Amino acid sequence: MNIDPVLYSPLLAAVLLLVLASGLWVAASLLAVALVGMVLFGNAPTELVMPSALWGSVSGWTLTALPLFVWMGEILFRTRLAGDLFNGLAPWTTRLPGRLVHVNVIGCGIFAAVSGSSAATAATVGQMSLPELKRRGYDEPISIGSLAASGTLGLLIPPSIIMIVYGVSANVSIARLFLAGVLPGLMMMALFMGYIALWALFNRDRMPPPEPAVPLVEKIRRLRLLLPTVLLIALVIGAIYTGIATATEAATLGVAGSLALAFFSGSLSWANFRESLDGATRTTCMIGFIIAAAGFLSVVMGYAGIPRQLAQWIGTFQLSPYGLILALTLLYLVLGCFLDGISMVVLTTAVIMPMVEAAHIDLIWFGIFIVLVVEIAQITPPVGFNLFVVQGLTGHNILYVARAVLPFFLVLCLGVLLITLYPDIATWLPRTMFSAR
């Protein structure tokens, strides 16, 4: 069909939005749009290109880490190891402004380091913390907002599922991405806790009375509850950072370690083992279908010349690297209203990479940037996954949860601004660690 190539991208985008609005699954929507694009704009036989593109997208060895990390998070989610986080952390936060609300942030940060999933992190910590915070009289909006926002740390603190997806899509080192996520992850934890402390200082009337102080000996005794999770983190992350294991091998160690810890703690049963395997299979299949469909769409866009045309079109604006980052931030915020994070990454990578490389933007830094803006999308209605998770835990409507999380949305925006102004926050650790080898 003789259509101006400049119109390909908006035409496919319009078709995609229409199909998504119909309620069709994301993977099926991407596949349908790819087929439309191949028929209209492609110049190769669909029956040959489609199988090759689908298989090539999901057959890479690197992706084997994905189901393993998902399964590790499911095991912890369904055993009592996650419940020990609250009991071990709670006594250490009672003297901070905001007191036990900080457990949401710290607990999500710790669980993120062995989960890799935003939804699993929010659900696991929320099941422990929200009933306890409500029972003790803490303000519900700050409790809900801090949980929904802190759950997004599951995307940023390694091992991260979305970093694996980005690494495969952009062909960059997953080990470097994992290292790059450490300092930004700690930074976001500090920013969340800073906001909670400020809120508590200015809203003393909405805080419950102080609880009796816990003796130091008891605090130290409860720290033992954190030891299994901390050891598992050290095993998985340490194996990657020291170069002893690849991401896939470290994921295998993580699964074996989580199963062993659950078994020796007495919380592993045949029922929750089967549930964890079933949950991991469902999640992995969903992600795999999305990656395969988006891979085919990327090939179609390549045939249609969309990446080249789009890069040339944006090039006409003569945007600086900062201008390009601002434009991409707005793009991802809009996409976040319709797509989940993994779909956003795999759908856009092929299109935006030529622009990013032309602007000489570090691809490792850009991976962390994408993760942060996807974190924002996780708490952006109407398709913010973490909003749905917290809604399910609390029973409140989605607008109530969205209002509660709004201040943390702004904190995440501040995080994006900080890593843009100070890119070494993301690039210093991988640069230092790999140059030392």
pLDDT of residue 428: 93
Tokens of 261: 């810890």
| CA–CA dist 295, 297 (Å, integer) | 5
**pLDDT exceeds cutoff 50 at 37:** yes
Nearest residue to 46 (alpha-carbon basis) of 299, 290, 217:
299
pLDDT digit string (tens) for 135-168? 878 889 999 999 889 988 888 888 788 888 888 8
Task: Report, as an integer, the average pLDDT of 278-298.
Answer: 77
Of the candidate ranges 19-28, 46-55, 132-141, 357-366, the one whose mean pLDDT is the lowest: 19-28
In this structure, is the dihedral angle defined by the CA atoms of residues 391, 396, 401 and 404, taken in order, positive or negative?
A: negative
Average pLDDT over every residue of 258-269: 84
Tokens of 37: 């694009």
pLDDT tops 70 at residue 302:
no
Q: Which residues contact 400 (CB under 8 A, 6 or more apart)?
A: 144
pLDDT at 2 over 60: no
pLDDT at 282 over 50: yes
* pLDDT for residue 309: 64
When pLDDT is cut at 50, 70 and 90, the band that residue 1 belongs to is very low
* Ranges of H-type helices in 151-245: 153-156, 161-170, 174-180, 182-202, 216-223, 227-241
- How many CB atoms within 10 Å of residue 336? 24
- Give the pLDDT of residue 225: 72
Q: How many residues does the chain have?
A: 437
Lowest mean pLDDT among 83-87, 153-157, 409-413: 83-87
Q: DSSP label at 361?
A: -
The residue with tokens 């179609």 is 300
Q: How confident is the model at residue 62 (pLDDT cuts 50, 70, 90)?
A: low
Structure tokens at 36: 């439309």
Reference 110, options 225, 197, 195; nearest CA is 225
For residue 392, pLDDT over 80 is answered with no
CA distances, 98 to each of 120, 131, 196 (Å): 24, 17, 6
How buried is residue 159: exposed, middle or buried, by Cβ count under 10 Å (0-12/13-18/19+)?
A: buried
Specify the range with the lowest mean pLDDT, choosing from 6-20, 141-155, 415-429.
Answer: 6-20
170: confidence class by pLDDT, cuts 50, 70, 90: confident
Q: Where are the beta strands (DSSP E) in 189-305?
A: none
* Least trusted range by pLDDT, from 38-47, 102-111, 143-152: 38-47
Whole-structure pTM value:
0.73
Q: Distance (Å, rounded) from C-alpha 169 to C-alpha 345?
A: 8
Domain positions in the chain: 25-38+45-435
The per-residue pLDDT for 126 is 77
Res 349 pLDDT > 70: yes
- Give 311's contacts (C-beta < 8 A, 6+ positions apart): 354, 355, 358
Predicted local distance difference test score (pLDDT) of residue 194? 94
Give helix 424-435 / helix 398-421 axis angle, nearest 10°: 60
Query: How many Cα atoms occupy the beta-carbon half-sphere of 166 within 13 Å?
Result: 29
pLDDT of 305? 65
- pLDDT above 90 covers a percentage of the chain that reads 14
Listed residue (213, 223, 188) closest to 96, CA to CA? 213
Query: How does the average pLDDT of the chain come out, rounded?
Result: 79
